[in-house]
Structure 1
Amino acid sequence: MNRARGCDHPAGCHTGEVPTLASATTGARFWLLIEHRGPWAARLEECELPEPVHELIRRAADLGVRAQLIRRPLQRHATSGPVHVMVADTTAREPWIAEGVFLDPRDLDLGSLVRGVVPESCILVKEPVFLVCTHARRNACCARIGLPIARVLGESQPGRVWETTHVGGDRYAANLVCLPHGLYYGSMSQAAAIAAANAYRHGEIVLDRFRGRAGIPEPSQAAEHFVRVHTGELSVGGVAVETTRSDGDVTEAIVRHGDVRFRVAVERTMFAPCGIACADTIATYRLAALESFQCGTPVLT
């Protein structure tokens, strides 16, 4: 029998005290969301799903597509019939999300998705989609903290909010993902989730509790974060890493901000929530250097 894992994370988790920057899931460029209102096991392969859905999930894994089960807040009754899916490309030049309904989910062309093309029988979704992790069988905190947030956020953003399975980073529960850009937030409160969702609808992010953008390496997420802090740039597409070069724990990145380029050095370090002797350390990043690329004059070190 599957049992929910308890809240065994370090002190400071779920409170906003643990640094969240540069912690978005790096391997999630392409997404497959499958609506399933029935029970969720700890892992997708253990869920009681029709075999064609399991086959679709396995095909997604082979192609590097992140599969998630989703359901509307508070909907718990299993249904049969056509399968509702959504697919997204989060790191395309213009990120997109599309949806479709399939009598046989094996008809979904995931090959088109990984080529950056909207699959046949799917239509583009114009409104953003918000995912709140409520995966109790994976971690009890995700349900305890996530469920109230999913409910309240669903009232604030009707028709746009879904509960979802594990998105990565249980210690950051409650986790919120904004699609199609794949923006991750962690340690969310109800007020923080509403603020983040409202900002995203206006094409902006909120730096507080922002984990980063999925599908790009953690050092690049960190470099973008520190440029945003320095410039005050909050638009979703306002900064972008162009190149990176790593040497051990230090990564140097060239980050574009409008017509300006910044050379940013970030260093991987460890955060000890219980103090310097704490065994439960968490990997994070610190800013080592930041300078204007155009004039070469250091602006922050």
Structure 2
Amino acid sequence: MSTCATLSRELSEPLAATAATATTWLLVEQTGPWGAKALGQSHLDPEVGRALDAATAGTGVRVALIRRPGRHADCLPTPRHEVVVAHTVPTPGRSWVRRGQVADPAELLALDFTALGAGDHGGFGTPHVGGPIALVCTNGRRDRCCALLGRPLAAELAAAGHSEVWEVTHLGGHRFSPTMLVLPYGYTYGRLTAESAKEVLAATAAGHMAPEWSRGCSGWDRPGQAADQAVRLVTGETRADALTVTQRADGTGRWRVDVRHEDGRSWEVEVAEGVSEPARPESCGKAAGTPSRMEVTSLREL
């Protein structure tokens, strides 16, 4: 069976700089089935889902639903919803993960989303204590690859018991399935196997990221993700919060990105936006297209 994921792999489409962008993730537990647009198509009150989507627009906060791996037949309403809020700009001292519970997700509409996107948690919940949190995209209603490849991965990672594991509604990039977002640093990974996913989680637990399967850190825009990956490949640096990224666009589809290491070293990286050819579907069932890709055109140490 041909899928968007198998075709992307056959075309050797690069993983780098394909992560969904969000400075802060708002992850809300919602059991039961999910539709393609889960905020309005699940057991979550659709009015609340639409209100959260509208309230977070333009703030840097991205909302997604989560649930524990396993069977997801229709079920009784969730009595209390686990909520995970994570700021994923991985510069030293800036990333954090906090969690709490709410009886009604409508309570979350009282949060200051602009502040959350800027990295101010406003005292929500309590700090996450423990190892990495793995979020595996499994929403088959959005793309079958996420169900076919993501759900078995989530189940195996959960059974291994090395990390906290959740299924999540949408991470973008279905053609890179199975995909996984890992907190606290916010790096997204693609084309994982159970073995490579466990390596990613072990690296995260030690304060590192894993370049081989990295799609980028959600805390950076895509040009910044490309520059971050390029510097890591040149230097071999894998500590997740060792680099700071600042980008400047020139208005012509090109960016100059400054990457600074915590030890004082810095690099200037030029990134251009191109297209992926030949055409391929970005999701199963969609017409073939040429998705944009970020290409590093130059890199020099300053």
Q: Same fold (TM over 0.5)?
A: yes
The structure that has the greater radius of gyration is: 1
What are the Cα deviations for residues 126-164 of structure 1, in whole angstroms up to 9, with x where unaligned?
232110000010001101000111011113345611011
Shift of 1:64: 4.6
Q: d(CA) in 1 for partners of 2:26 and 2:2?
A: 28
**Are 2:53 and 2:63, in contact at CA under 8 Å, matched by a contact in 1?**
no
Give runs of aligned pairs for residues 14-163 of structure 1, distance below 5 A: 14=9, 17-26=12-21, 28-43=22-37, 44-50=39-45, 53-54=48-49, 57-58=52-53, 60-62=55-57, 63-77=59-73, 78-80=75-77, 81-91=79-89, 93-108=93-108, 109-111=110-112, 113-114=116-117, 116-120=119-123, 122-127=125-130, 128-158=132-162, 160-163=164-167
Give runs of aligned pairs for residues 206-285 of structure 1, distance below 5 A: 206-246=210-250, 248-257=252-261, 258-272=263-277, 280-285=289-294
Shift of 1:16: 8.7
Distance change (3 Å), C-alpha of 1:14 and 1:71? farther
Q: Which segments of 5 or more consecutive residues in structure 2 lack a partner in the other structure?
A: 281-287
**Are 1:60 and 1:110, in contact at CA under 8 Å, matched by a contact in 2?**
no
Moved more, 64-73 or 10-19: 10-19
Aligned residue pairs total: 284
Q: d(CA) in 2 for partners of 1:201 and 1:172?
A: 23
Distance change (3 Å), C-alpha of 1:65 and 1:14? same
Q: d(CA) in 2 for partners of 1:223 and 1:10?
A: 25
**Are 2:6 and 2:175, in contact at CA under 8 Å, matched by a contact in 1?**
no
**Are 2:220 and 2:245, in contact at CA under 8 Å, matched by a contact in 1?**
no
From 196, 199, 203, give the equivalent of 2:203. 199
Name the SS for the 2:63 alignment partner.
Answer: strand
Name the SS for the 1:31 alignment partner.
Answer: strand
Q: d(CA) in 2 for partners of 1:185 and 1:201?
A: 15
Q: d(CA) in 1 for partners of 2:126 and 2:76?
A: 23
What are the Cα deviations for residues 219-276 of structure 1, in whole angstroms up to 9, with x where unaligned?
111111111111111110122213434352332222112211111112222332579x
**Are 1:35 and 1:70, in contact at CA under 8 Å, matched by a contact in 2?**
yes
Q: Which segments of 5 or more consecutive residues in structure 1 lack a partner in the other structure?
A: 1-5, 294-301
Shift of 1:11: 5.6
Structure 1 counterpart of 2:284: none
Distance change (3 Å), C-alpha of 1:121 and 1:234? closer
**Are 1:12 and 1:273, in contact at CA under 8 Å, matched by a contact in 2?**
no
**Are 2:86 and 2:96, in contact at CA under 8 Å, matched by a contact in 1?**
yes
Q: d(CA) in 2 for partners of 1:74 and 1:289?
A: 46
Moved more, 68-77 or 202-211: 68-77
Structure 2 counterpart of 1:297: none
C-alpha RMSD over aligned residues: 2.7
Compute the TM-score of the two structures, normalised by the length of structure 2.
Answer: 0.84
Structure 2 counterpart of 1:166: 170
Name the SS for the 1:130 alignment partner.
Answer: strand
**Are 1:73 and 1:147, in contact at CA under 8 Å, matched by a contact in 2?**
yes
Letter paired with 1:270: V
Compute the TM-score of the two structures, normalised by the length of structure 1.
Answer: 0.84
**Are 2:40 and 2:50, in contact at CA under 8 Å, matched by a contact in 1?**
no
Shift of 1:20: 0.6
